[in-house]
Amino acid sequence: MNKNSLTIGRSNYLDNNGTLLKALPDSLNKRKFLISLYQTMVLTRLFDETAINLQRTGIIGTYASCRGQEAIGVAIGHAMLADDVFIPYYRDIAAQFQRGVLLEEVLQYWGGDERGSNFSQQANDFPLCVPIATQLCHAVGIAFALKYQSKPNVAVVTCGDGATSKGDFYEALNMAGAMSLPTLFVINNNQWAISVPLERQTASPTLAHKALAAGISAVQVDGNDLLAMYISVSDALEQIRQTGKPLLIEAVTYRLSDHTTADDATRYMSQKALDDAKQKEPLIRFKHFLTEQHSWTDKEDRALYQQCQQQVDTSVEVYKNLPAQQPGEFFDYMYEQLPNSLVEQKQAFLDGLKRHE
């Protein structure tokens, strides 16, 4: 991560098949830990598949799949400290799960219910952010607060490749750089912004290069290589804690799904590109690594999948049985105290409901 090098480093531990390219640090090379990473990946994959099905059957609304990009969230979720603050975008459920967001809360969110962002087990992390790139500015302010409060923590924020074309992306980076704020920016470069391919977004040779405009060091990582991702995020967090300065990671992945369930990627994505990308997807690679290096068995794998599917199924049941919101609840959180005009509007609303009954 040398500021003065334009050759952005690219980090890899696993090849496209999952064969280990170099030795892991001993501290990481622990079977139980590695399986815990894998488990979050599997859980996320199964949740993702289930969520798509729930959308198809009308049980939730539009949903944005993270298929093929799970390693990013897993790495972030496992590498962050509890008191770091996570400012996610909509393909980061792996990290959210790891940080205490409940599966049913994620379903609730995509089910069109604000209560899904009132995380019961996670006080400070931000909810999903719809207007692209705006969350990067929040992260900078959160990093300011952490620094101001002399906490040893980092604000970790993610965005997509399309998001890097927005002014907010650059402003946030530049602000974090100029004010030296403990922020980790992670780009999920999945090659597409809905139907717009990366090469239309920018003439910049990599997205990591963009950090140079803000005087921030950056590295490019194979985002489908869970080991490389985990180590890069861990190292970056460590370095930020030491220097107080922001860093950026470009995680190179591929979107193995429609943009959302409202999209039809066959209109613009070639089957060949998709097939090629599928070869490099993170779950297969990591399983191969576990099998080769930690004698992971098919039986263990099946058991893990079963266990994760059960967890997903349970969350679906919980979600389906959640009570509806109170009628008029959408008035109650507009201000800490409902102003007179809203008291009146809420009353009229409730009266209307009653008349309707």
Partner 1 sequence: MNEWTMIEAINHALAFQLRENPNTIILGEDVGVNGGVFRATEGLQQKFGEQRVIDTPLAESTIIGMSIGMASQGLIPIPEIQFMGFIYPAIDQILGHAARLRNRTRGRLSCPMVIRAPFGGGIHAPEHHSESTEAIFAHIPGLRVVIPSSPARAYGLLIAAIQDPDPVIFLEPKRIYRDGKQAIEDNGEALPLDTCFTLREGIDLTLVTWGAMVKETLQAAEQLAAKGIDAEVIDVATIKPLDIDTIIDSVNKTGRCIIVHEAAKTCGVGAEIAALLAEKNITSLLAPIQRVSGYDTVMPMFQNEHFYMPSTERIINAATKSMEYR
Nearest residue to the partner Mg ion, using Cβ: 160
44 touching ligand TPP, by CB under 6 A: no
CB neighbour class for 244 (10 Å; exposed up to 12, middle 13-18, buried from 19):
middle
Q: Which stretch binds its own copies (CB under 8 A): 112-120, 164-172, 247-255, 279-287?
A: 164-172
CB closer to ligand TPP out of 1 and 74: 74
Note whether 297 and 37 are within 8 A (CB). Answer: no
| Cα dist from 330 to 124, 154, 338, 343, 356, whole Å | 22, 33, 11, 12, 19
Q: What is the DSSP letter of 24?
A: P
Question: What Å distances lie between residue 348 and 321, 324, 326, 330, 357, CA to CA?
Answer: 29, 20, 15, 14, 14
CB of 259 to Mg ion, least distance (A): 8
Q: Is 356 one of the catalytic residues?
A: no
Our answer to whether residue 268 is catalytic in this structure is: yes
Distance of alpha carbon 123 from alpha carbon 240, whole angstroms: 23
Binding positions for partner 1, 130-149, rule CB under 8 A = 130-134, 136-146, 148-149
Q: How far apart are CA 97 and CA 66, in angstroms?
A: 13
Which positions from 201 through 240 interact with its own copies, judged by CB under 8 A?
201-205, 209-216
Angle at 351 between CA 345 and CA 355, to 5 degrees: 145
Minimum Å gap between C-beta 31 and ligand TPP is: 32
Query: 167 with 198: CB under 8 angstroms?
Result: no
Query: Which of 156-164, 218-226, 315-323, 340-348 is the region at the interface with ligand TPP (rule: CB under 6 A)?
Result: 156-164
Site for Mg ion in 166-205 (CB under 5 A): 190, 192-193
Residues that bind ligand TPP (CB under 6 A): 91, 130-132, 159-163, 188, 190, 192-194, 255, 259
Give the footprint of Mg ion on this chain (CB under 5 A).
Answer: 160-161, 190, 192-193
**Active-site positions?**
255, 259, 268
